[in-house]
């Protein structure tokens, strides 16, 4: 099953940024635009991760997730809602009978600065409450200290606990800084059993960027060629407009191709993005822009 | 810090990694590890509007500040290579027209331009540069219509560089004394300039801007398939108030070019084009007082070492050979890949070619536009046939080419050796020859073993290797971790049969100056 690969490889900063910029030059018009916007909408992880989150707030989010807009816009539910572990239970209750998943952040999100025991305990809370997906954070401190084994083993332990529940591994690329680090951390996360790799917690700036996402998509491709396993990708944080979201979709389309253009393989973590997508979809359908007031707040 | 990684992850200790699936994952056979690019999400057409761009039905010669009919009265059609439809008629200049143009240039040189202080010349060049910026969008559309290049490139690369060349050289016009301390630079006189069809406006800018900055006057001949934008450039010169006769543009065929080459009152010749024609020109000029610079063909090596950032190197390969349909003299047409990374490189290259979009040059999403002419398409097809005949293996992605117009799918050959014709001769199309090497020394030897020497590319993560290779590559331009990057401040030109003389930068000024 194992296969020799020449190396995990390095990333050239200038060229990867140049390539990422080319995806912003695609002109997405007419039918392809509407199709793209709807696809992006179905890939959303509608997110609320605040200290003040209550079951009430989560209920609002869940209803938005299930019934985002009037039927004539042809917009289905989003892929998932993403909440803190102690809000998983109410979220599951609100979403009962819908295809929308509940994703929970865990492992001492967002910093990951605690013991493995605590991180696993945190995960267990989310799992026991019925989370369908776990968004874990890696130990960036360990990574930057070169303790790659520790990073790996924590991911592996979390995956073991998750079993068949989908595990997304947040690299927090804004703290890893270099593209070489991002690539290495991506490889580590995939090898240790992550089902998805995710850029950011949304708590650190910069969050997702096009070049960082490209580096991660390239890593996913390398892993796929080596093992045949398709790992999902989730850029999160900082994607606020439909235009930006389409640029990410173009990048996936031209890097990993058809098999990644589904909510099973590509997600976008966002909250304000949802309504901009709806505004643009309404523009495509009705031919004119609507007031934002016609769309409910997430 | 020195904590030993767990058994599962030996990956980062040696730098050589074992990528393996997690233990719980089911095995996937190698044949199922294929990416699919069948257009689950395809892009709708996004054509750049072009009906608002003013094409004239007929283009005359530009001599002595005026548009004049050719003395022969003859015009030839200029077609859009993407549709094969006629765009306009272009005047066919002959020796008599060239003589008028040279005389006008001589008058302008002696009466106005040659005597004008550099700071005054600079004002005209700055004005031209600004007008170019203002009209950039229209000129880009015209360039794409007439030459077949994609609007993406003409708008984002060609036109900005055209303006940049005029800005850059405007800056030199009043500083020539300081560029060459202790020497007194003087203009040469009348420059005859013959340019190719692959970058019509950009090549005109490369020739005209330094010549004018240095105080010369010019007679320029655009290529017969791409004369239209040169005439729009002439309009800009007129609008900028450039004195009559400083720039004269005479369109026509090879005989028109020959008339410029052989005109006795030309002081300097600059030619960009094929090595074959370059040699003819060099023969004609031998024994005359004419100063000559040639920028000719190439068969550049693009070297991918095993320690290169592979995913980015793929982009460098794409930029190297598929830029401008491969109609680039410095194209990275010989790809040398270190044997240990051939498989991953080829695999990624195939995927990458599958997402290149071939078609309407005016569609903003088109990556590869039309081949410039039927003649060039024939040449590409002939070379590809020779590659196949000599046993190399051709890869072309499944892409639908438009029914009309001259198009060629991006292609590459594997199983190529140095003795294949496709490894030796310039194809000047979107066709790459992939070869392998074992050590950097071997790559270097084979890269240099060519009659050409225009450019080369190096891909490695190791800085020392970049310098080691770059200093030994016999090529005028060596790009490391990038390819086909141009800047007016950077001199461009060849070794050996790729020509002599430099264009751009301080070195480029020397081609248009003499010293007291």
Asked about A57 being catalytic, the answer comes back as: no
Q: How far apart are CA B427 and CA B331, in angstroms?
A: 10
User: Chain A, 177-206: which have a CB under 8 Å from a chain B CB?
Assistant: 184, 187-188, 191-193
Helix axes B342-354, A210-227, angle to 10 degrees: 120
Q: Which of B4, B208, B21 is nearest to B124 (CA)?
A: B208
Q: Residue A207 falls within a domain, yes or no?
A: yes
**Across B119-125, average pLDDT:** 98
CB atoms B46 and A27 under 8 Å: yes
pLDDT of residue B26: 77
% of residues, chain B, pLDDT over 90: 93
Establish whether this prediction's ipTM goes over 0.85.
yes
- The first and second tokens of residue A263, run together, are 């909510």
Given pLDDT bands bounded at 50, 70 and 90, which one contains residue B101?
very high
User: Chain A, 109-148: which have a CB under 8 Å from a chain B CB?
Assistant: 145-148
The model's pLDDT over B43-83, given as tens digits with 9 standing for 90+, comes to 999 999 999 999 999 999 999 999 999 999 999 999 999 99
The model's pLDDT over A196-232, given as tens digits with 9 standing for 90+, comes to 999 999 999 999 999 999 999 999 999 999 999 999 9
Q: Residue A2 falls within a domain, yes or no?
A: no
**Across A241-252, average pLDDT:** 98
Residues in A closer than 8 angstroms to B306, CB to CB, are 6
Q: Say if residues B263 and B99 touch (Cβ distance below 8 Å).
A: yes
Considering its fold, how many domains does chain A have in total? 1
Residue B143 CA: distances (Å) to CA of B193, B197, B203: 20, 10, 12
% of residues, chain B, pLDDT over 70: 96
pLDDT of residue B27: 81
- Nearest-Å Rg of the Cα atoms of chain B is 25
Q: B15 touching A, CB under 8 A?
A: yes
CB atoms A15 and B482 under 8 Å: yes
pLDDT of residue A116: 97
Q: Residue A106 falls within a domain, yes or no?
A: yes
Residues in B closer than 8 angstroms to A148, CB to CB, are 5, 9, 11-12
User: Chain B, 312-341: which have a CB under 8 Å from a chain A CB?
Assistant: 312-313, 315-316, 340-341
Which residue blocks in chain A are alpha helix, DSSP H? Answer: 13-23, 30-42, 55-66, 88-94, 116-128, 140-144, 148-162, 173-176, 179-191, 210-227, 242-255, 273-286
pTM: 0.95
Closest B-chain CA to A181: B12
Residues in A closer than 8 angstroms to B46, CB to CB, are 27-29
Select from A193, A225, A258 the Cβ nearest to the Cβ of B33. A225
Angle, CA of B278, B388 and B273, to the nearest 5°: 15
Select from B41, B152, B347 the Cβ nearest to the Cβ of A32. B41
CB atoms A152 and B27 under 8 Å: no
Mean pLDDT of chain B: 95
DSSP B369-386: ---S-HHHHHHHHHHHHH
Query: Annotated active-site positions of B, please?
Result: 295, 329
Q: Which of A181, A182, A230 is nearest to A208 (CA)?
A: A182
The model's pLDDT over B174-206, given as tens digits with 9 standing for 90+, comes to 999 999 999 999 999 999 999 999 999 999 999
Q: A8 touching B, CB under 8 A?
A: yes
β-sheet bridge partners, residue A268: A44
Q: Give the CATH H-level superfamily of domain B301-480.
A: Aldehyde Dehydrogenase; Chain A, domain 2 (3.40.309.10)
Residues in B closer than 8 angstroms to A191, CB to CB, are 8-9, 11, 19-22
**Residue A206 preceded by cis peptide, ω within 30:** yes
Q: How far apart are CA A170 and CA B350, in angstroms?
A: 31
pLDDT of residue B4: 42
- With residue B101 as reference, give the H or E element that holds it: helix B95-108
Residues in A closer than 8 angstroms to B484, CB to CB, are none
Domain spans, chain B: 58-296+496-515, 301-480
Classify strands B185-187 and B61-63 as parallel, antiparallel or unpaired.
unpaired
Question: Residue B59: what are its φ and ψ, rounded to 5°?
Answer: -115, 125
Distance between B463 CA and the closest CA of chain A, angstroms? 12
Q: Which residue range forms the structural domain that includes residue A243?
A: 13-294
- The first and second tokens of residue A106, run together, are 């865990």
A2, A3, A4, A10: which to substitute to probe chain B, counting the most B Cβ within 10 Å? Answer: A10
Q: For residue A100, what is the domain's CATH number?
A: 3.20.20.70
Which residue blocks in B390-454 are alpha helix, DSSP H? Answer: 421-424, 440-448
In this predicted structure, the answer to whether residue B402 has a pLDDT above a threshold of 70 is yes
CB crowding A62-76: b at 16 or more within 10 Å, else e? bebbbebbeeebebe
User: Chain B, 146-185: which have a CB under 8 Å from a chain A CB?
Assistant: 152, 156
Architecture of domain B58-296+496-515: 3-Layer(aba) Sandwich (3.40)
Q: B33 touching A, CB under 8 A?
A: yes
Q: B43 touching A, CB under 8 A?
A: yes
CB atoms B309 and A12 under 8 Å: yes
């Amino acid at each position: 099953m194992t296969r020799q690969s020449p190396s995990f490889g390095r990333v050239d900063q200038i060229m990867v940024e140049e390539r990422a910029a080319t995806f912003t030059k695609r002109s997405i018009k007419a039918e392809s635009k509407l199709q793209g916007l709807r696809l992006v909408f179905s890939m959303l992880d509608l997110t609320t991760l605040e200290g003040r989150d209550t079951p009430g707030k989560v209920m609002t989010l869940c209803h938005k997730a299930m019934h985002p807009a009037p039927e004539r816009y042809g917009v289905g539910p989003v892929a998932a809602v993403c909440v803190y572990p102690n809000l998983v239970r109410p979220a599951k209750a609100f979403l009962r009978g819908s295809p929308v998943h509940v994703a929970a952040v865990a492992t001492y999100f967002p910093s990951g600065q605690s013991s493995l025991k605590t991180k696993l305990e945190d995960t267990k809370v989310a799992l026991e409450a019925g989370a369908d997906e776990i968004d874990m954070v890696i130990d960036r401190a360990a990574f930057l200290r070169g303790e790659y084994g520790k990073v790996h083993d924590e991911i592996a332990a979390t995956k073991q606990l998750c079993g068949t529940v989908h595990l997304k591994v947040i690299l927090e690329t804004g703290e890893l800084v270099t593209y070489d680090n991002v690539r290495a951390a991506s490889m580590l996360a995939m090898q240790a059993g992550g089902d998805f790799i995710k850029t950011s917690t949304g708590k650190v700036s910069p969050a997702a960027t096009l070049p960082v996402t490209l580096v991660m998509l390239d890593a996913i491709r390398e892993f796929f060629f080596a093992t045949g396993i398709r790992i999902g990708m989730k850029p999160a944080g900082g994607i606020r407009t439909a235009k930006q979201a389409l640029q990410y979709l173009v990048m996936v389309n031209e890097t990993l191709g058809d098999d990644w253009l589904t909510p099973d393989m590509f997600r976008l973590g966002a909250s304000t993005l949802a309504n901009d997508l709806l505004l643009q979809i309404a523009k495509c359908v009705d031919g004119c822009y609507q007031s934002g007031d016609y769309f409910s707040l997430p | 810090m020195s904590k030993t990684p767990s058994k599962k992850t030996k990956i980062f200790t040696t730098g050589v990694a074992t990528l393996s699936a997690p233990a719980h994952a089911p095995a996937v056979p190698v044949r199922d590890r294929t990416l699919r690019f069948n257009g689950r999400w395809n892009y709708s057409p996004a054509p750049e509007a072009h009906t608002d761009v003013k094409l004239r039905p007929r283009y005359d010669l530009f001599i002595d500040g005026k548009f004049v009919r050719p003395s022969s009265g003859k015009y030839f059609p200029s077609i859009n290579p993407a549709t094969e439809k006629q765009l306009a008629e272009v005047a066919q200049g002959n020796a008599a027209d060239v003589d008028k143009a040279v005389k006008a240039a001589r008058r302008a040189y002696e009466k106005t331009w040659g005597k004008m202080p550099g700071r005054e010349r600079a004002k005209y060049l700055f004005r031209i540069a600004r007008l170019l910026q203002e009209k950039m969008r229209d000129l880009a559309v015209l360039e794409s219509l007439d030459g077949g290049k994609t609007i993406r490139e003409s708008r984002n690369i060609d036109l900005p560089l055209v303006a940049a060349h005029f800005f850059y050289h405007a800056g030199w016009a009043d500083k020539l004394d300081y560029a060459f301390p202790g020497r007194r630079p003087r203009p040469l006189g009348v420059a005859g300039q013959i340019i190719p069809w692959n970058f019509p406006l950009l090549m005109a800018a490369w020739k005209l801007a330094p010549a004018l900055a240095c105080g010369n006057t010019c007679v320029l001949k655009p290529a017969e398939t791409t004369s239209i934008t040169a005439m729009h450039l002439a309009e800009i010169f007129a609008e900028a108030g450039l004195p009559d006769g400083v720039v004269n543009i005479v369109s026509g065929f090879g005989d028109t070019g020959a008339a410029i080459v052989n005109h006795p009152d030309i002081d300097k010749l600059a030619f960009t084009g094929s090595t074959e024609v370059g040699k003819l020109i060099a023969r004609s000029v031998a024994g005359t007082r004419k100063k000559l610079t040639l920028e000719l063909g190439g068969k550049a090596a693009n070297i991918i070492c095993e320690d290169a950032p592979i995913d980015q190197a793929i982009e460098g390969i794409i930029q190297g050979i598929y830029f401008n349909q491969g109609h680039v003299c410095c194209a990275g047409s010989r790809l040398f890949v270190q044997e240990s990374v051939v498989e991953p490189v080829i695999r990624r290259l195939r995927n990458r070619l599958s997402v290149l979009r071939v078609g309407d040059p005016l569609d903003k999403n088109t990556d590869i536009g039309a081949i410039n002419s039927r003649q060039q398409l024939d040449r590409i097809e002939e070379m590809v046939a020779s590659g196949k005949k000599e046993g190399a293996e051709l890869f072309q992605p499944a892409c639908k080419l438009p029914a009309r117009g001259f198009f060629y799918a991006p292609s590459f050959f594997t199983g190529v050796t140095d003795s294949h014709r496709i490894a030796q001769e310039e194809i000047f199309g979107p066709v790459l020859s992939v070869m392998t090497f074992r050590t950097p020394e071997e790559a270097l030897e084979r890269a240099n073993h060519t009659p050409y020497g225009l450019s080369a590319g190096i891909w490695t993560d190791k800085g020392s290797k970049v310098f080691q290779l770059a200093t030994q590559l016999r090529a005028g331009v060596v790009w490391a971790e990038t390819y086909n990057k141009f800047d007016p401040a950077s001199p461009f030109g060849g070794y050996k049969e790729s020509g002599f003389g430099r264009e751009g930068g301080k070195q480029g000024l020397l081609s248009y100056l003499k010293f007291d």
